[in-house]
Structure 1
Amino acid sequence: MTQAPGKEQDTMEVAQAQEGDGKDNKDIQKSDRLTPFLTTVPRSVTRFKKLPVEKTPDSSSPPEISGPQYSGPLEGPFGLGPLVFPVFQRFNNIDFFLFLFFVVVVADGFIFAHVDQSYKILEEEFSLTDTEKYLMDYSDYYVSFMVAIFVAYYGGRGNRSRWMAASAFILGITSVVFAIPFYKYEIIRQFEDEEDLCEVTNATDCGTSRIPHRSICIYLFIFAQCLHGMTAMPFYILGFTFIYEHTPKLSTGIYIAIADSVQVLGYALGLAVGAVGARSSQNQALNGDANVHNFRQWQKVWWSGFISVAVVSWCTFPLFLCFPPRLPGGNKLIREKEKEHLFFDKRLENKEFGHSLKDLLQAVKCLVSNPLVMCFSLCKTSECLTLKGNLKFVPIYLESRFLMTPTLASRLTALFMFFGYTVGRFLGGLIVDRLEMSFKNKIRFIVLTSFVSVCLFILILSVECETAKFAGITEDYDGTGILGNLTAPCNEKCDCPNKHYASLCGRNDKEYFSACYAGCTAYKYFQGEKTYYNCSCIKEGLTTSDSDGHFIDGTSGKCSTRCDSLPLFFAFFFSSIVFANLSTVSVNLSILQSAPISYNSLSMGVTFTIWRLIGSVGLPEIFKKVSIKSCIYWNINNCGLRGRCWIYDVSKVVYMMMGISIIFQASLTFFSLLALFNYNRGVKKNTENMVKKANASKQEKT
């Protein structure tokens, strides 16, 4: 690696500072290895208690449009073309930009939640094939993967706020496209309170009747997903780097934590609105008539949610257009940020690339050949995979291990992940700011927190709970049936459907998939609870009678188990999520500081390309194989098509599904250790080169 002659002394100082544990480099020369920690830890605690000295510029009074703050390159006033007014200059700061970023990314997260919920509805109502499921679920990932590098390279060279404005506008169009199927077509059929009782039927309907609007709804959904994948990249690449470059050093961690956490807030908001709206839609459908025009009422929560996002995103569109390429004082902050960046690949230092595709490929090649950029990109990917895996499998884990209903399991998972995600990221950003961590200390912090998270995930495996007996799955209908088959002589004439899982707990303390599979022929409500009678598969157990003297055979719901370990599980799970996210801000800052500041957007583009590629190609295959291996009972319709898995093997769920989170988090630890190794090797090599050049210079002078 070569170094410019005029920068030898500066590089020597940077190399020496990078090898230290903080600002005080005297600790390095102490022979006792314990002494630096005895000195650094108290100093860090004292520093953590102090408020940051650097603050954002005061924007309470609007500056003069022609003031010296606009004298730097690319800095300008807040306005739309020639429409520039002094009173609006109070908004020309990073705080207002962060507010708009917050609003539009919350809307984007809301879209993610609404898309996930509506996808499940389409999957159930349209009986999607495997190809249709894959395209509808991951088409946004493929588009993100294809456009990330181009958005990062060309958007990073232009006015990033205008790219954000364009994305906000397209996000509104995306929301409208998502809303069209739910507004124009009847997708959610009128809710019918059917009783799943044992009835002798000769139904052979395979359900082959075609839904007239099925194809157009699928095409619109895939098209909207493609638009969504395209609009997400400017938000998470260009908006992210714009915030980083315009924040003071001692506030960067908090700003990055806010920018990186708002999508989860939007996702949680979308889940909450969808859950409440779905219940109200069912009530409206039950109280309404069968008129075809009523479908817009019980689908209102879906199309109105998408339309609301469109309105919000379009409101931010003109405001983003008003920002200049750089905010007042931005050039000064960028020059300060340049001192924190490491240039291991000297081909990028002071290198200018053109607008051609060849220049783009050359710049990407330089970044990909930088070991630090690649290590931290893989750290970010592992972190995202952990989050995705938990969202996918923890609800299944709760259903299988603690016998929760799918709805309750999903809500508890979302709740604990949201708070753990938010607390971890904000606390991580606060620690980075208050301790003023050096680059090397950020890597050490990533290693430590990810390792603790792995240990906590492993502790989850030790949490056990008593499992109820399940007829046909763990128990063979008192010796009359076969394990793995819900049908037995006591219910073989009932022609039971398995589209809806409505568990029943019998008086014999055994659980049944539904009242039909228990052979029940009647039901009624007793003391606010749904009770079943005349169940041919339930012969044993204590009998109790209702107010009319009828003997109750079973009640709706899962059988209660003596499980006191659920709070322990959530304690371990919440702690593991917090520690898994403590390193997020450090990972993001390390990605940005591993390349010249002019290539921040491109380094984030490389990161998102890797993440989206793995997320769209490798991740679905992993999830699919794990689900197939762990499933005991699938929903198979009359046509023989396999739907969702209803019941999982508890032991396989514990070790395979929770093992995925452990593997992903362990990968984060490994890549952070690899980054630390490459960092030490790079600093050592740079220092040796500087010493050799200094000695050669002295010899020439003598």
Structure 2
Amino acid sequence: SGNRVKWIALSSFLVGFGSLLLAFPYFSVKHFESEAKIEDICSATKSFNSLVRSKSSFKASYVTFFTLGQIVQGIAGMPLYILGITFLDDSVPTHSSGIYLGISDAAAILGYALGFATGSPQLPHSQNSTSGAATTVKTSGNALKKNWWHDFIVAASLAWSTLIPLLCFPRIIGDTAKIRDRKRREFHLFEKDLQHWKFGASIKDLFGVVWIMLKNPVFLCQTLSKATESLIIIGASEFLPIYLETQFILAPATATALTGIILIPAGALGQLLGGIIAYYLEMSCKALMRFTIVSSTLSIIFLVMIIFVHCNPVRFAGINENYNGTGQLGNLTAPCNEHCGCSPSLYLSVCGRDSTEYFSPCFAGCTTSKIINNEKRYYNCSCIKEGLTTADADGDFIDALFGKCNMYCHTLPLFFAFIFSSIVFSGFCGVPLTLIIFRIVPRELHSLGIGITYVIVRIFGTIPGPSLFRAAGESSCIYRDMNKYGQEGHCWVYNKTKMALILTGICSFCKMCTICLTLIGFQKYSYFVKERKNILHDISAQNTKEKKKNTML
């Protein structure tokens, strides 16, 4: 009942304010310096040589600003998602809503994915990166200040740049009165339940209408379908970087950036095309449901194809290779390195000249190292006995190079093609599901209906999605380090085949849920339409009978 445009403008202000809260710690951190020195080679005299010195004025109180910033962003997002799209729908004809909602949803996906693409350069290069690394890592305050906070300032500036244009909008666009009246006369599933309902401002009235909506099977099926679709996008964005990093041996920053590159065009294009198709074909509710079922089926087909796109696993000493018969599978320690006292918590993978990957130079038994042309090389490795020997400029024979072994796998473009197509067809469902909700809910309750939808989407989609995919991904771990207290730590090596099955399995299950829920909604909607036609037919027959009776009198 309020001025929706003003609420949307307030949301834009809060988005900018929340971004500034997230950037605030930069302006308060006076000094940050961290220096780590690591001896990664085999040493017979030291069990584990690692010295870390850190000096920082960063305080735990700054976490408060990060938390407040996220809370403000969460509050600001709801009016944008709920009131923004209802204002759009109320201002355009019924069949034109699709193209506008498609643009709106595409922009939301675009912003979410751009966060991955712009944030990935801020990620530190992990120790299992394929690039060379020195044994001394030093991060100064100047390097820290040049990076992370810029994105938040840009986001705040973009959000606040929309304030004046939004405030110039009228409460109701003048030439849309006929459109709203026409929509008010359209058939809605809640006509029978709400025809005697007087909408008030009390909490009792609110819960009464919410309960009526939740009892409607068509509305509930569509909202749950949006939750399963959200689960796929949010969960895949959480799991996909780890999947790319493991399957195709990519650095964390590269894997995260590629995730954004996949999600940006695919998700946005799917949402936009879904809205455009619904607009040009002027789909009815039944047609929108059929379109959702067909596009979900095509998405599952491309998901299943991902299973067949993989790279052969590399030989990994102690994991799937037993040190040429001298060690045991599942044990990184073998007779050739037991005198080194290596730590399983220090993961610095090296590739030996025998085309076998080792957990660290220490586990390969390497005693010396050199950095030549920014590439670290290891010598005198007691566990490496086979393979071609290559001498460096000093005449020393190189036994191992820092980084993972090259698997000579060229299936990444094919994986991109399949996952891109799957996300596009999955995105087709977004706008039709929203349009169905608008068609079955009375115009006066559009904001409430979308609000209920997003509550369900959060509860069953965006909140559990990352945790579900992360837990499923961790279940494919085949080697995890242990700290000195015997507690499990970070997972370093994954089962690639199991990861592929988990990714496709969860996403395919979510799409199957969308198909099943849409089928149930289609049946229930057909029943309601048939029931209404029968009622109208009975009323028409009754009126005809009364007219004949009056004529005879």
Q: For this structure pair, what is the TM-score category when the shorter chain's length is used for normalisation?
A: 0.7 to 0.9
Corresponding position: 1:382 with 2:211? no
Answer with 178-187 or 449-458: which moved more.
178-187
Q: How far did residue 401 of structure 1 move?
A: 3.2
Find the aligned partners of 1:203 and 1:523 in 2 and give their Cα distance. 17
Corresponding position: 1:591 with 2:430? no
Give the match for residue 256 of structure 1.
101
Change in 2 beyond 3 A, CA 1:317/1:646: same
Give the match for residue 577 of structure 1.
423
Give the match for residue 181 of structure 2.
335
Q: How far did residue 320 of structure 1 move?
A: 2.7
Find the aligned partners of 1:685 and 1:187 in 2 and give their Cα distance. 72
Find the aligned partners of 2:376 and 2:48 in 1 and give their Cα distance. 27
Where in structure 2 are the equivalents of 1:634-653 lying within 5 Å? 634-638=480-484, 642-653=488-499
Find the residue that maps to 2:480 and give its secondary structure.
strand
Find the residue that maps to 1:465 and give its secondary structure.
coil
Give the match for residue 244 of structure 1.
89
Encode CA deviations 1:605-660: one digit per residue, 9 max, x unaligned: 11110111124664455335413421122344446554442221223212223211
Change in 2 beyond 3 A, CA 1:269/1:209: closer
Q: How far did residue 540 of structure 1 move?
A: 1.6
Change in 2 beyond 3 A, CA 1:402/1:213: closer
Q: How many pairs align?
A: 537
Change in 2 beyond 3 A, CA 1:528/1:328: same
Q: Are 1:522 and 1:532, in contact at CA under 8 Å, matched by a contact in 2?
A: yes
Find the aligned partners of 1:406 and 1:178 in 2 and give their Cα distance. 23
Q: How far did residue 278 of structure 1 move?
A: 5.9
Change in 2 beyond 3 A, CA 1:296/1:566: closer
Find the aligned partners of 2:155 and 2:303 in 1 and give their Cα distance. 36
Aligned partner of 1:652: which letter?
K
Give the match for residue 106 of structure 1.
none
Find the aligned partners of 2:177 and 2:37 in 1 and give their Cα distance. 65
Corresponding position: 1:510 with 2:356? yes
Change in 2 beyond 3 A, CA 1:670/1:165: same
Corresponding position: 1:607 with 2:453? yes
Find the aligned partners of 2:51 and 2:519 in 1 and give their Cα distance. 56
Q: How far did residue 465 of structure 1 move?
A: 2.7
Find the residue that maps to 2:161 and give its secondary structure.
helix
Q: Are 1:518 and 1:538, in contact at CA under 8 Å, matched by a contact in 2?
A: yes
Give the match for residue 155 of structure 2.
309
Change in 2 beyond 3 A, CA 1:607/1:296: farther
Where in structure 2 are the equivalents of 1:458-473 lying within 5 Å? 458-473=304-319
Give the match for residue 174 of structure 1.
18
Q: Are 2:234 and 2:462, in contact at CA under 8 Å, matched by a contact in 1?
A: no
Find the residue that maps to 1:481 and give its secondary structure.
coil
Corresponding position: 1:449 with 2:278? no
Give the match for residue 698 of structure 1.
544
Q: Are 1:636 and 1:642, in contact at CA under 8 Å, matched by a contact in 2?
A: yes
Find the residue that maps to 2:82 and give its secondary structure.
helix
Change in 2 beyond 3 A, CA 1:371/1:430: same
Give the match for residue 71 of structure 2.
226
Q: Are 1:274 and 1:301, in contact at CA under 8 Å, matched by a contact in 2?
A: no
Give the match for residue 110 of structure 2.
265
Find the aligned partners of 1:299 and 1:509 in 2 and give their Cα distance. 41
Change in 2 beyond 3 A, CA 1:209/1:464: closer
Find the aligned partners of 1:276 and 1:612 in 2 and give their Cα distance. 29
Q: How far did residue 469 of structure 1 move?
A: 0.9
Give the match for residue 424 of structure 1.
270
Give the match for residue 626 of structure 1.
472
Change in 2 beyond 3 A, CA 1:273/1:617: closer
Q: Are 1:261 and 1:425, in contact at CA under 8 Å, matched by a contact in 2?
A: yes
Corresponding position: 1:196 with 2:50? no
Where in structure 2 are the equivalents of 1:125-140 lying within 5 Å? none
Change in 2 beyond 3 A, CA 1:278/1:446: closer
1:477 to 318, 323, 329: 323
Answer with 634-643 or 203-212: which moved more.
203-212
1:321 to 137, 152, 167: 167
2:409 to 563, 582, 587: 563
Change in 2 beyond 3 A, CA 1:470/1:205: closer
Encode CA deviations 1:579-620: one digit per residue, 9 max, x unaligned: 111122111111221200111111111111011112466445
Where in structure 2 are the equivalents of 1:42-191 lying within 5 Å? 157-185=1-29, 189-190=33-34
Find the residue that maps to 1:632 and give its secondary structure.
strand
Answer with 400-409 or 383-392: which moved more.
400-409
Give the match for residue 510 of structure 2.
664
Instruction: Please report the TM-score for the alignment, with normalisation by the length of structure 1.
Output: 0.70
Find the aligned partners of 1:373 and 1:590 in 2 and give their Cα distance. 8
Give the match for residue 153 of structure 1.
none
Instruction: Please report the TM-score for the alignment, with normalisation by the length of structure 2.
Output: 0.87
Find the residue that maps to 2:478 and give its secondary structure.
strand
Encode CA deviations 1:551-578: one digit per residue, 9 max, x unaligned: 1112233222243433332222111111
2:365 to 519, 544, 562: 519
Aligned partner of 2:75: which letter?
M
Q: Are 1:206 and 1:639, in contact at CA under 8 Å, matched by a contact in 2?
A: no
Find the residue that maps to 1:437 and give its secondary structure.
coil
Q: Are 2:36 and 2:51, in contact at CA under 8 Å, matched by a contact in 1?
A: no
Change in 2 beyond 3 A, CA 1:203/1:510: closer
Change in 2 beyond 3 A, CA 1:473/1:266: same
Q: Which has the higher helix share?
A: 1
Change in 2 beyond 3 A, CA 1:520/1:336: farther
Q: Are 2:238 and 2:470, in contact at CA under 8 Å, matched by a contact in 1?
A: no
Q: How far did residue 672 of structure 1 move?
A: 1.2
Q: Are 1:168 and 1:316, in contact at CA under 8 Å, matched by a contact in 2?
A: yes
Aligned partner of 2:328: which letter?
I
Change in 2 beyond 3 A, CA 1:272/1:498: farther
Corresponding position: 1:362 with 2:208? yes
Aligned partner of 1:612: which letter?
R
Change in 2 beyond 3 A, CA 1:296/1:591: farther
Find the residue that maps to 2:92 and give its secondary structure.
coil
Corresponding position: 1:487 with 2:487? no
Aligned residues with identical type, % of pairs: 39
Q: Are 2:120 and 2:257, in contact at CA under 8 Å, matched by a contact in 1?
A: no
Gaps of 5+ in 1: 1-156, 281-285
Aligned partner of 2:480: which letter?
W
Find the residue that maps to 2:162 and give its secondary structure.
helix
Find the aligned partners of 1:626 and 1:278 in 2 and give their Cα distance. 23
Corresponding position: 1:404 with 2:250? yes
Find the aligned partners of 2:327 and 2:531 in 1 and give their Cα distance. 71
